[in-house]
Amino acid sequence: MTAAPARPPQAAPRRRVPLRLLLVAGVVLLTVGVLAVAGLQGSLVYYRTTSELLADPALQGERVRLGGLVVRGTVETTADGVRFELTDGVQDVPVVNTGQPRGVFQEGQGAVVEGVLGADGVFRSDVLLVKHDNEYRPPEDGTGRPAEDRG
Amino acid sequence: MATTTTRSRRTDRLLAAATVLAAGAAAVLALLVAPPDAVQGQPQRLMYVHVPAAWLAYLSFAAVLVASVAHLVTRDLRWDRRARAAAELGVGMTALAIALGSIWGRPVWGAWWVWDPRLVTTVVLLLVYLGHLSVRGLGDDPATGARRAAAVGVIGFVNVPVVHFSVVWWRTLHQPASVLSPDPAPMDPRMATALGVAVLAFTLAGVLVVRRRLRVLAAAGPAEPAPAPLPSPVTGPLVVTPRIRP
């Protein structure tokens, strides 16, 4: 802290400050809150479902995130990545991802990919994230120790 | 006064002992007793520190709300110190929850960070309470600073439910809550026990830290606004000396 000049004695009425301050803070936070809610509900939906993507032709050719469950039996490793289908239970979308999946990617689990839906109906992505649910349970074999348990 | 301090120190020692016991039990339960998750494997054990950190942040900010309201009503600087000590803990726990979540996200989601509503609102929460701590020092009148901090401490609390329910209100990558949820999810009882004991350990440690911090703050700052500076013995009414404030 540096030296400050001596302040004049405080003669100002002290009651008005908090009210004004509260009003300003209230208006600011309300604005931020309204913007946040509007923004998050509109443009910041983290991903679209397969049905939403297919129902909105404006999204074709746009870079979007697409989320869904990885359809069992569709996962294939390709030369430069992985190919699979995503579903929301109604519509399936074939996905070709560049790059091997990280995270706990597996069939029947959730995944979110980032890329572009082509005119051929194939979604080409280069970001693959895994979405897991909020249920926690031990591995199926009942020992509480999965086979690869080390690390 | 002396007996109050002695009793307070004894309470601290009891709290410290309970914290160590709970933390030790939580470590054993979380690392040895609870099974790894079927899908996520070993990284899921980060839940036993990530969730308690987030819980303690929520609890701290609730304490900031209560202390801030009390300060605005009473103008007592002791309430301001309570708000400050709780906010400091809450900010630390929010940062810890973000860091641990990031370490959890990399092996499970495949990314350290995503622009997901839960993550973004949590960072906003961190910034709001850093603001609460910062506005206290703006200007050189402690009473004004305390009032401004209290205003932020009251209004800023709206962010807590926004963070908690972000996973319900918006579509996120982050999974919804399993326990403090309108729709609780099944969890293995060994996992739930480990989580419960870890939450207890964090809560006890948080109470202890805030109590000790309050003693430091009370020793550093006066309970009342600073009294007017005493006239210097060598200066008479005709001598003008510049007053230098720290």
Residue type, A31: T
Q: Indicate the pLDDT class of residue A143, thresholds 50, 70 and 90.
A: very low
Give the chain A residue whose CA is nearest to the CA of B121. A36
What does the buried/exposed string (b/e) look like for B49-70 if buried means 16 or more CB atoms within 10 Å of the residue's CB?
bbbbbbbbbbbbbebbbbbbbb
> Average pLDDT, whole number, for chain A?
79
Specify the long-range contacts of residues A8-13, CB closer than 8 Å, at least 24 apart. A10/B141
Tell me, yes or no, if A70 comes closer than 8 A to chain B by beta carbon.
no
- Do the beta carbons of residue B93 and residue B54 sit within 8 Å? yes
Tell me, yes or no, if A8 comes closer than 8 A to chain B by beta carbon.
no
Chain B residues inside the 8 Å CB shell of A112: 173
The reply to whether residue A104 touches residue B171, judged by beta carbons under 8 angstroms, is: no
Q: How far apart are CA A115 and CA B153, in angstroms?
A: 41
User: What's the distance, Cα to Cα, between the start and end of chain B in Å?
Assistant: 30
- Do the beta carbons of residue A81 and residue A98 sit within 8 Å? yes
Residue from the list B110, B162, B188 with its beta carbon closest to the beta carbon of A136: B188
- Please give the ipTM for the structure prediction: 0.73
Select the residue from A51, A134, A143 to test the B interface by mutation, using most B Cβ atoms within 10 A. A134
The reply to whether residue A135 touches residue B186, judged by beta carbons under 8 angstroms, is: yes
Mean pLDDT, contiguous 10-residue spans, chain B (246 residues): 76 95 97 93 95 97 97 94 97 98 94 91 94 88 91 91 86 87 86 96 97 92 55 52 60
Q: What is the DSSP string of chain A?
A: ----PPPPP--S-SSHHHHHHHHHHHHHHHHHHHHHHHHHHHTT-S-B-HHHHHH-GGGTTSEEEEEEEEPTT--EEETTEEEEEEESSS-EEEEEEES---SS--TTSEEEEEEEE-TTSPEEEEEEEEE--S-B---TTSSSS-TT---
The reply to whether residue A138 touches residue B187, judged by beta carbons under 8 angstroms, is: no
- Do the beta carbons of residue B40 and residue B108 sit within 8 Å? yes
Q: Indicate the pLDDT class of residue A103, thresholds 50, 70 and 90.
A: confident
Residues A112-139 pLDDT 10s: 999 999 999 999 999 999 998 888 888 8
Residues B104-121 pLDDT 10s: 999 999 999 998 889 999
Q: What is the pLDDT of residue B142?
A: 87
The reply to whether residue A26 touches residue B114, judged by beta carbons under 8 angstroms, is: no
Residue from the list B116, B175, B187 with its beta carbon closest to the beta carbon of A132: B175
Q: Indicate the pLDDT class of residue A15, thresholds 50, 70 and 90.
A: low
Q: How far apart are CA B149 and CA B161, in angstroms?
A: 20
Cβ–Cβ contacts within 10 Å for residue B74, how many?
Answer: 11
- Do the beta carbons of residue B55 and residue B26 sit within 8 Å? no
For A144: left if phi > 0, alpha if psi spans -120 to 50, otherwise beta; the answer is: left
Enter the tokens of residue A87. 């579903």
The reply to whether residue A104 touches residue B108, judged by beta carbons under 8 angstroms, is: yes
B21 CA: distance to closest CA in chain A (Å): 25
